[in-house]
Structure formats: C-alpha cells, structure tokens
Amino acid sequence: AQSVTQLDSHVSVSEGTPVLLRCNYSSSYSPSLFWYVQHPNKGLQLLLKYTSAATLVKGINGFEAEFKKSETSFHLTKPSAHMSDAAEYFCVVSANNFNKFYFGSGTKLNVKP
C-alpha cells in the first residue's frame, strides 16, 4: 500500500530565509514521488518529480527535493523564500505503474515580509 504523511500542516518563514516542507512516504513498490503547489483559487502545478533517477531533484522556482530511501522521506527545500511562494504544497506518491496517485494532506506555507 502507498501513503504519504506531510508532517506539518502549516509552515511560516520570513522572506529570504530557507524553506523546508517535510514529507514521508510508505510504498510497497519502488515509488515515484511528486511535489505540487496550489496557489489560492488556482489549480495544482507540478513542482518536481522523482522517478528513480537522480535522488536530488531540481524543480521550478528554485525548489528541490531529495529522495532518501533509508528515511522514506522526500522533503522539499528552497534556499531563500519569496513572497510569491506562499501557497499550499502537496506531496504525492505513486506506485510503480504511475497510474494511481496518493496525496498528502498538504502544507500551507506562509511567507512573512
């Protein structure tokens, strides 16, 4: 079975400081992992994905995530937060057939000026 746990429902950072959004997964198969961002009243946008290639994945808008099998984690990071990063972020796992996706409950990122 597959599942995702996003460890923080809300994260607040100051503009210009690092961002860390935590995600742990459970998967019976070699997982594929994704991070999506959802701005208010907008659809979900794919930030980055891990599909068994390099364990450090770079995405759009300066975000990156590292797949750590030993820790079953796929945390999302960004060196310096921008006001426009304020949104909700979802960690998603899929099984090896890529056709079924399991969403975490989301982390709302607040960026303070």
Partner 1 sequence: EAGVVQSPRYKIIEKKQPVAFWCNPISGHNTLYWYRQNLGQGPELLIRYENEEAVDDSQLPKDRFSAERLKGVDSTLKIQPAELGDSAVYLCASSLQASGQYFGPGTRLTVT
Residues that bind partner 1 (CB under 8 A): 32, 34, 36, 41-46, 49, 51, 90, 92, 98-101, 103-106
Which of 72, 74, 73 is CA-nearest to residue 63? 74
Nearer to partner 1, 6 or 73 (CB): 6
Report the Cα 72 to chain-centroid distance in Å: 13
Q: How far is the CB of 44 from partner 1 (least distance, A)?
A: 4
Q: How far is the CB of 108 from partner 1 (least distance, A)?
A: 9
DSSP-assigned states of every residue in 27-84? -SS--EEEEEEE-TTS-EEEEEEESSS-SEEE-GGG-EEEEETTTTEEEEEESS--GG
Three-class SS state of 85: helix
Nearer to partner 1, 78 or 106 (CB): 106
Nearer to partner 1, 35 or 85 (CB): 35
Q: How far is the CB of 41 from partner 1 (least distance, A)?
A: 8
